[in-house]
Each structure stands twice: as structure tokens, then as C-alpha cells.
Amino acid sequence: MAGYRESERQVVITGIGVVSPIGIGIDDFWKGLQSGTSGVRPTSMIPCAPPQCQIAAEIPDFIPGNFTKTREQKKALRVMCREIQLGFAAAALALDDAGIGEGTVEPERLGVEFGANLMLSPPEDLAESVAACIDPQTKQFNYARWGDVGLGKMFPLWLLKFLPNMPACHIGIAADARGPNNSVTIDEASANLVIGEALRVIARGHADVMITGSTGTRVHSVKSIHAMMWDKLASFEGDPSTASRPFDRTRTGQVVGEGSGVLILEDDSHARRRGARIYGRILGAGCACVTAKPGVGDIRRALAQSMRLALKDAGLQPHEIGHINAHGLATPEADIQEALAIRDVFGETAANVPVTALKSYFGNCAAGCGALELAGSLAGLTHGVIPPTLNYKQPDPECALSIVAGQPLPTKNKTFLKVNVTRVGQASAVVIAGA
């Protein structure tokens, strides 16, 4: 990414929207973090859950219709899968939080940058069509029957429910955002990447306000099986709320979750002219992709490179960072690699810089995780504290970091580094200064 210079337009955060397993809306979300509330519980959303996915961080009280304002928006919910609905709701909350409504921003100066995962259809969406194609004699699926019989039983707009660019489309339509509109599908790295892209869009003068965030889920009848096959999931006995334990010596793996977070990014002068509340300022962004061998990510090198680039872009040295909001996957190997990457970048100061890992509250929400975690740091800094990591009891000597745990940690340094990385070595980072 090109350098973000002081001569360019300054980009601030004027709104936050959160839909998470520990709270909907930034105030309830912060209450969940402050009180040490876990969103991990026995799953109710995955039919016939595989053994390792019988716990999840779900949003049990999410009602999509509560976040629509017009009849057209309510009708549009029919062509949104749950991930899209989560992102749409978070965007509505963020716009309200920022005080942006009809006529507030010139439509051509309002854009969208949004992150999502590839979205998968649950088997039940195909069940009726498949059943209609079963040959009554052989009891086997007959492909020849699909065009005449099976296809006609599909929901006509079925495909639109699962396109990863649709969160940005629906949000853009609802907000009448006619400026730049882009979608990123880089799994857990997505949120920081869209923030970096939106930063450049505003800095270049192509928009005054950008609706920026991400949505994702791994609480899904197909995606949960993928998680079980591809990733190290937590094994647990007793209370599910203790299953996600980033950087703890007893950690056993990640927990699947769902959620969405949205930030309203705005040109500083534009925000001040309309008297907007400012949560913080985007200082810089960086990204990297490093693989050890085909299909296997070099997490340590990718994270280190993205952090260095973000710090360089922000014009800061490691010792100027007040805390790190870590990826904190809670798998034995990934946490070690992340800790090593932090030490590679921060050197002797690595043992002293506070680190928090918020997947301990709501698991891995795939593309949605980065925006939720970032919102957690911003919410904490409005109260002058760093939110703590949940379930951190036994330090791991292989992860020699200063983990914030127990109670929120008071801080005067409100500049923090947010990092995320995918299993295949795609890493992203942003540097933010809280107000």
C-alpha cells in the first residue's frame, strides 16, 4: 500500500455498528466485554452438529426485520442469507450511530467497502428440488430431471442469497450510497483490508464517507464441517464458555462463531463540519501474503510483514503502540506463530506491550471477526481502558506476551495495532488512534 501522508485527507471513525453473540449495538457489546460475558454455548443452529461443533458463539436474539426502515428493505431480507442480514443490520446500526441519514451526505460522496466470506447454501435450500429428481424406480438422483422438474422448485432468486458481494450491494442501496463500492473475500483478513482500501478512497478525495466493515459465520451446517476438517477446533469439558482460550497454555483450539462489525470512516473536515462524534483516526494499514508451501500459510512471516507495513504507513515505531488487538485464534500452533511475529516486530518491547484477544468472547466469526475485535478496542478506549482477554489463566512460555486478562486495563496511550491472518498466510493490519 502507498504511504498515508499527513498532507492527505485525514480519516476518522464516526460510527460503529455491532451484531455479535455478546451484544447487539456498541453499548451492549461493550457491556458484554466489560462484564466478561462469553457468547459460546451449546449450538442451537446447526442441525446434526458434528461432535467438535456442538458448541458455538451464536446470536440467539437477532431479528433481521428490526433493522429495516422501509417496506423495500424488509422485502429485500428474503434474498439475504444470514451472513448478509448480519452485515446489513450492523451497517444500519453504524449509520445511526454516526448520525448519517437521508440528506446528510451527498450520495455520490458516500461509498461502501465490505468484507465477507464465500457464502454457502444450506442443504435444506436444495432438498425439495433434489427430492423431485429422485428416480422412483432406482431411488437415485436423475440429472435428466433437473431442468424440467428440479429447477422449477428452486427459489427463483436463490443465487442472490449467497453472493459475497451482496452485503455491499444491499447496504449501498439502503443508504443510497452511489460512491465507490467494493467487496473483499479474504476470510479473517477481510476487515482490515477493507479499512485500508476505504482509507485510500477517502485520502484520494473519491469519497467523503465510507461504510466499512465485514460479516461472517462458521455456524453453518456446511461451514462447520469444513471447520472440523480444516482447522483445530476446541475440545472442552464442562462449561462451553471456557472453550476459547487464546494464548493460554491449556488452549485446545478455536470455536466457531458468527457476527458482523461496521465502521463509518469519514474525512476529518467533513465530520467536524457536521459535528460528528469521533471515535478515533485511521493512521495506516498494511497487508502481506506469505506461504511456507502450496496451501500452507507462513503465519509468522505474513503477520510480521503486515505489521511492519502498517507501522511504516502510520509513520510510527513499535514502542509508540499502546496495545495490540491480536488475531488470537486459540489454536496451539497459530498462537505461537503470532507471538513470534509480534516479537519479530516489537523486539525487546514485545514483552511489555499489552495484548488482547477477543475471540475468547465470540469465537472465530470468519470474515466478521476482525471488525468485531477492532470495535472492542475502540469501545474500550472510549472508557480509557483495554478490554481483557477472557479465559486467560495459565501463561504459555512459548507465547511470551503481556496478555491483558481479568479486568480492563487502564491506558493513556490510545494508539493500537489490529492484526488478523488466514490459514493460508494472508495477513492484514491497521493502526488506529482512539479519540
Do 227 and 321 fall into the same domain?
Answer: yes
Q: Are residues 49 and 155 in the same domain?
A: no
Full domain range(s) for residue 144: 124-160
Tell whether 179 is covered by a domain: yes
The answer on 212 and 141 residing in a single domain is: no
Do 155 and 37 have their domain in common?
A: no
Percentage of the chain lying above the pLDDT 70 cut: 97
pTM of the model: 0.95
User: 106 with 130, same domain?
Assistant: no
Question: What is the average pLDDT across 416-422?
Answer: 98
Mean pLDDT of 180-191: 98
Based on the fold, state whether residues 336 and 306 are members of the same structural domain.
yes
CB atoms within 10 A of CB 220: 25
Q: Which distant-in-sequence residues (6+ apart) come within 8 Å of 422 by Cβ? A: 186, 187, 188, 189, 297
Q: Could you tell me if 243 and 378 lie in one domain?
A: yes
Assess if residue 77 is contained within a domain.
yes
Residue 265 lies in a domain: yes
3-state SS, one letter per residue, for the chain: CCCCCCCCCCEEEEEEEEEECCEECHHHHHHHHHCCCCCEEECCCCCCCCHHHCEEECCCCCCHHHHCCCHHHHHHHHHCCHHHHHHHHHHHHHHHHHCCCCCCCCHHHEEEEEECCCCCCCCHHHHHHHHHCECCCCCCECHHHHHHHHHHHCCCCHHHHHCCCHHHHHHHHHHCCCCCEEEECCHHHHHHHHHHHHHHHHHCCCCCEEEEEEEEECCCCCHHHHHHHHCCECCCCCCHHHCCCCCECCCCCECEEEEEEEEEEEEHHHHHHCCCCCCEEEEEEEEEECEEECCEECHHHHHHHHHHHHHHHHCCCHHHCCEEECCCCCCHHHHHHHHHHHHHHHHHHHHCCEEECCHHHHCECHHHHHHHHHHHHHHHHCCCEECCECCCCCECCCCCCEECECCCEECCCCEEEEEEECCCCEEEEEEEEEC
* 231 in a structural domain: yes
Question: What is the CATH classification number for the domain harbouring 363?
Answer: 3.40.47.10
Q: What is the pLDDT of residues 147-158, one digit of tens each?
A: 999 999 999 999
Banded model confidence at residue 44, pLDDT cuts 50, 70, 90: confident
pLDDT tens across 205-239, in order? 999 999 999 999 999 888 888 888 889 999 877 89
Based on the domain organization, do 390 and 415 belong to the same domain?
yes
Instruction: Mark whether 139 and 187 lie in a shared domain.
Output: no
* Residues 223 and 115 reside in one and the same domain: yes
Please write down the HEC assignment for all residues of 132-183: HCECCCCCCECHHHHHHHHHHHCCCCHHHHHCCCHHHHHHHHHHCCCCCEEE
Tell me, yes or no, whether 273 lies in a domain.
yes
Choosing from 140, 160, 180, the residue where a domain stops is 160
Predicted confidence (pLDDT) at residue 169 exceeds the cutoff of 90: yes
Are residue 244 and residue 155 in the same domain, yes or no? Answer: no
Same domain, 389 and 329: yes
In whole angstroms, give the CA distance from residue 114 to residue 291: 25
Question: What pLDDT score does 225 carry?
Answer: 86
**Amino acid 238: pLDDT:** 83
Q: Give me the number of domains the chain comprises.
A: 2
**What phi, psi does 388 have (nearest 5°)?**
-85, 160
Q: Which of 160, 188, 219 corresponds to the end of one domain?
A: 160
In a domain, 412, yes or no: yes
C-alpha cell at 429: 493490519
Question: Is the residue at 334 inside a domain?
Answer: yes
pLDDT at 3 over 70: no
385 backbone dihedrals φ, ψ, rounded to 5°: -135, 165
Final residue of a structural domain among 160, 180, 210: 160
Per DSSP bridges, beta strands 426-434 and 415-421 are antiparallel
Residue 31 within any structural domain of the chain: yes
- Tell me the three cell numbers of residue 263: 465502521
